[in-house]
C-alpha cells in the first residue's frame, strides 16, 4: 500500500512534486539471501527451474466409513441390526453385518427381544435376502433367521397378522426352493444313470 495524503493538503503537493512516495512498513520485505533464492531452500512459492523434477504428492483418499462400521466401532449392536433391516440397506451389506455380529459373538444379543415392529422389518429384510448369493450368504441368512425366531417372544407364535403374513410368505419361498431342489435331485439322478451306462 502506498500512503496517500488527503487531497488538497500541502504535504501531498510537496511529496508529489519531489516524486517521493512513502511505503508502509508492512509491505517492505527484507531481501532474501542467496541461499534462500537458489536450491532447496527457495520455498514452495518459487517456480521450479527447468532442470527440477516436480513430484506431486497425493494423499491417499480416506475411506468413507459406513454407518454400519460406525455402529460396530461403538459396539452398538442393536443399532447395527436396526440399520441392517432398513429397506434401503443393500442385502450384501446387511449380510456382511450379520457375519460381523457372528464373529463378535453378538448376534443373539443384538437380535433378542426386538419388538414387533423391528421383528417385522427383520422378516421383510430376510424375505429380500432369501436365495441371494453363494452358500456362505445362504448360511448367514439361515443363522439370522434361526436367531430371530429363537430369541423373540413375539414370533413364538406370531402375535400380529402382519407377522403371520410375513412368516407365511417366507415359508412359501422356502417351499418353492425345496421344490427346485427336488427337481435338481431328480435331474442329477437321471444324469448319473445315463453316464454310468
Q: How far is CA 21 from the centre of its chain?
A: 61
Supply the mean pLDDT for the chain.
Answer: 81
Q: Check residue 31 and give its pLDDT.
A: 67
Beta-carbon neighbour count of residue 80 at 10 Å? 25
Task: For residue 152, give the DSSP letter.
Answer: -
Q: Check residue 29 and give its pLDDT.
A: 64
Are the beta carbons of 115 and 154 closer than 8 angstroms?
yes
Cell of 4: 496517500
Distance (Å, whole) CA 89 – CA 128? 11
Contacts of 168 (CB under 8 A, 6+ apart): none
DSSP letter for each residue of 78-133: HHHHHHHTSTTS-HHHHHHHHHHHHHHT-HHHHTSS--HHHHHHHHHHHHHHTT-S
Q: Check residue 125 and give its pLDDT.
A: 94
Instruction: Quickly count helices (H) and strands (E) in the chain.
Output: 9, 0
- Residue 46, preceding bond cis, omega within 30 degrees? no
* 35-77 confidence digits (pLDDT tens): 667 766 666 677 777 777 777 777 777 777 788 999 999 999 9
| Nearest residue to 141 via CA among 129, 152, 157 | 129
| Confidence grade of residue 34 (pLDDT, cut at 50, 70, 90) | low
Percent share of the chain, pLDDT over 70: 77
Q: Is the pTM of this model over 0.75?
A: no
Are the beta carbons of 137 and 95 closer than 8 angstroms?
yes
Q: What value, to the nearest 5°, has the Cα angle with vertex 176 and ends 141 and 179?
A: 115
Beta-carbon neighbour count of residue 15 at 10 Å? 16
Are the beta carbons of 150 and 112 closer than 8 angstroms?
no
- How many residues make up the chain in this entry? 197
Amino acid at each position: 500500500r502506498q500512503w496517500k495524503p488527503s487531497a488538497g493538503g500541502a504535504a501531498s503537493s510537496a511529496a508529489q512534486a519531489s516524486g517521493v512516495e512513502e511505503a508502509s512498513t508492512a509491505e517492505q520485505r527484507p531481501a532474501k539471501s542467496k541461499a534462500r533464492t537458489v536450491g532447496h531452500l527457495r520455498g514452495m512459492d518459487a517456480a521450479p527451474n527447468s532442470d527440477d523434477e516436480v513430484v506431486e504428492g497425493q494423499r491417499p483418499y480416506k475411506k468413507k466409513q459406513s454407518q454400519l462400521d460406525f455402529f460396530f466401532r461403538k459396539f452398538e449392536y442393536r443399532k447395527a441390526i436396526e440399520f441392517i433391516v432398513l429397506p434401503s440397506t443393500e442385502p450384501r451389506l446387511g449380510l456382511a453385518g450379520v457375519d460381523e455380529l457372528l464373529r463378535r459373538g453378538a448376534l443373539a444379543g443384538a437380535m433378542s427381544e426386538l419388538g414387533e415392529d423391528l421383528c417385522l422389518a427383520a422378516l421383510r429384510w430376510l424375505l429380500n435376502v432369501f436365495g441371494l448369493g453363494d452358500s456362505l450368504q445362504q448360511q448367514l441368512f439361515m443363522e439370522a433367521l434361526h436367531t430371530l425366531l429363537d430369541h423373540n417372544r413375539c414370533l413364538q407364535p406370531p402375535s400380529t397378522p402382519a407377522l403371520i403374513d410375513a412368516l407365511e410368505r417366507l415359508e412359501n419361498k422356502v417351499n418353492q426352493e425345496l421344490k427346485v431342489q427336488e427337481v435338481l435331485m431328480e435331474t442329477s439322478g437321471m444324469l448319473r444313470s445315463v453316464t454310468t451306462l
